[in-house]
Amino acid sequence: MPITSSAKKAVRVTARRNGENLARKSAYKQALKNARRAAANGSVTQELVSKAQSTLDLAVKSKLVHKNTASRLLSRLVHSATVDASTKPAKKATKAKTSAKKTVKKRTPKS
């Protein structure tokens, strides 16, 4: 147990910061999880990606997550959202191209 007043204050400050960090950490993880689920279902929205980015930025600001880690997570999320969005509704009928080639007569060099 802390004895000095500064040690007692340090315990209080640590408990408060721990609570704040835990809340921020669970918020960004939940936002990422929601966005990933939506991307897997093909129903991802700009709002979900924006929310995930916002919570990741707050986690970086409070030094819970390194900025490169946050960048990597967001990049993967955006990529999966765009890939899923572009592949799902893109099933359009395409015309079959003919592969008939024109025959060209070869020229002989003049000597």
Per-residue pLDDT tens digits for 7-60: 999 999 999 999 999 999 999 999 999 999 988 888 878 888 999 999 999 999
The residue ranges of every structural domain in the chain are 5-87
Q: For residue 40, how many other CB atoms are within 10 A of its CB?
A: 12
- pTM, two decimals, is 0.65
Cα torsion 14, 20, 22, 24 to 10°: value is -150
The class (CATH top level) of 5-87 is: mainly alpha
